Structure 1
């Protein structure tokens, strides 16, 4: 591509469909992860030809990433973009979970879904406070803006981010692609919050971005641990490129903007070529046929951005009070008193919690939603367990 092709005209933020925005955010993250993975292989793989091919594919992925990211308009504020990021997190995670064949991977997706859903609410409060904006203008009624598992109780000791991984020889191709999708999306969210949260002068805004960025770091850790470490670098790269083609194809199926649909269709063809090249490297250097790894000729269903209100509410009703312990999930009331995250919460929340304080800055309609009985109950239960656990801490 030349420079003019690489930098397309941005969409109109006042006219864009909410799910066009989410598709752009998602594919920017997918391309970013492809570039970062390729850089890692460049540093670690010993073969000069592999390094050369990675450099070529990475340059093309880099140009694609800039094309996608430059579709965002300059007049879209950081917090408006942030609300788009959290709408991605909610409706993407819900779609992946609904179509995930591995029960443990599905449970991990459902668990984090409720946390990202709550982040959307907290940032909605910030939008109201900082810019006087209505988050409904961003989500367009397709995703609810209300609390779920409170961000204030999501802060956990690193031990509690540990997860079991799928088996590369038995896992379905859909599981493997879901893995690459969610890792890419959450990694992008973490990096965006880390790089943009400091741009606000307001203390609550700066603190809220820092708080949620740390939760996103937990999410990246738990999701990346789902992948089988026995997969080789070339195997992972081939699957990553396959996933790019699969997602661009998915985006093209439902895109309402003809101009942007044309970009998705063009990039689908480019990624099919990237995938073929990675499959060739896999065959040449490891003697493995990509068909033996895929174990299918058809990957379905496509990843679709659509309203998931009923699904999200069903997860809220059944999983609001879950917490991770020893790679499994259990009710907060059943956690052992020496759960490492009780102590972590005491330290992190000792001087107040930005995600709670921002609610007090928002208008009455948004603030009232945080007083729902189920939200109040789960906060009280966690507070009770944290206090109870203090009795087990040895005196210093």
Structure 2
């Protein structure tokens, strides 16, 4: 597999990057024939592009220099067209819940790949922690898929990702204080950590937004409630992941890393894509993003007097991000970390949490009138429902319920 060497890649001039409508709206993949990981690449790259557009809009509102604003507008217009081209690869006959299963397969196998290759132990632990929650979301939505459409989730995941409970969604609800995380040091963090950070923030952010903008489309009460419940967990994930980034990075530095990350992800997708037509899209967009990165690097040189190479401290970013089966890794993390919870920006065993842990009181409020992620299991076929009766899952639910009852403090005012 080729290495990603951004300074050796040839970009496409920015004035040659505009696309017409037919270039943007390409033929979608066939949902019945597509490889599961082609679907996940499409979903991920839509999120990667969305994050770039959102950050660029934030910079235009905060940066005082007109030259920077114009550059952001130009780069953003191309990123916007790329995002549309990527997202429109999804077919119209792929239902909301089928797309949702794809989103959660992204979350599981992307997070596992990043965690396995993360050099910062704290960032890795944060990835592992949320991995078990997204893994559980895949299971809950699989139950909904069976209930709502009578669908088999294996048709979507194609046996590459296990469909079974992880850390139960019902115990994932936490007080905002418990989403706080430490950030990496911008001057000493490995470039791979910075790429992993931007990738996971992008992926989780678009998942949160997708659930918020599509969950209401179901008339069924359990479906609507489940999307609401999991959307809130995704908000927690976006918060915790976002906090991993160093706030001392300048706006232009952050944008440069985002554009570099786009190129890195497109390059990674191209190296492993099985569909030749879609691979050509990844290859072209990687070259476009190299130009965007170079433009940001020039803005940093001109406005901050810094060389992008001094920020990156690397000419090669490796390994690439690869979608592949991670069953053994996920199962090992389940065995070792199922009962972890965040407290004071560290991860501790459930038994070691203080009785006044703010999230105990928070869960009593959130789960007071029932839990959609538990209710949906009772609507699924027996085989799916029985998976929620595994001994380790029942044990951690019971222990959390006991601790919630014991910790009677109200949600602290902040």
TM-score range, shorter chain: over 0.9
Per the alignment, residue 162 of structure 1 pairs with: 180
Map of 1:1-396 to 2, 5 A cutoff?
1-390=19-408
2 CA distance for matches of 1:110 and 1:390? 30
Superposed CA offset, 1:216-265 (max 9, x none): 00000000000000000000000000000000000000000000000000
Query: How far has the Cα of 1:327 moved from its partner?
Result: 0.3
Superposed CA offset, 1:6-28 (max 9, x none): 00000000000000000000000
- 4+ residue stretches of structure 1 with deviation over 6 A? 391-394
1 CA distance for matches of 2:407 and 2:287? 56
Superposed CA offset, 1:105-130 (max 9, x none): 00000000000000000000000000
Superposed CA offset, 1:132-153 (max 9, x none): 0000000000000000100000
The answer (yes or no) to whether the contact 2:359–2:411 under 8 Å persists in 1 is: no
Secondary structure in structure 2 of the residue aligned to 1:370 = helix
Query: How far has the Cα of 1:390 moved from its partner?
Result: 1.9
The answer (yes or no) to whether the contact 2:108–2:135 under 8 Å persists in 1 is: yes
The answer (yes or no) to whether the contact 1:337–1:392 under 8 Å persists in 2 is: no
Query: How far has the Cα of 1:392 moved from its partner?
Result: 8.7
CA RMSD of aligned residues (A): 1.0
What is the TM-score of this pair, normalised by structure 1? 0.99
1 CA distance for matches of 2:410 and 2:164? 35
2 CA distance for matches of 1:81 and 1:347? 31
Cα 1:181–1:128 shift into 2, 3 Å: same
The answer (yes or no) to whether the contact 2:43–2:102 under 8 Å persists in 1 is: yes
Cα 1:273–1:390 shift into 2, 3 Å: same
Query: How far has the Cα of 1:391 moved from its partner?
Result: 7.3
1 CA distance for matches of 2:23 and 2:260? 24
What is the TM-score of this pair, normalised by structure 2? 0.94
Query: How far has the Cα of 1:348 moved from its partner?
Result: 0.3
Superposed CA offset, 1:349-376 (max 9, x none): 0000000000000000000000000000
The answer (yes or no) to whether the contact 1:249–1:264 under 8 Å persists in 2 is: yes
1 CA distance for matches of 2:120 and 2:408? 37
User: Which segments of 5 or more consecutive residues in structure 2 lack a partner in the other structure?
Assistant: 1-18
Per the alignment, residue 3 of structure 2 pairs with: none
Superposed CA offset, 1:18-62 (max 9, x none): 000000000000000000000000000000000000000000000
1 CA distance for matches of 2:358 and 2:38? 41
The answer (yes or no) to whether the contact 2:361–2:410 under 8 Å persists in 1 is: no
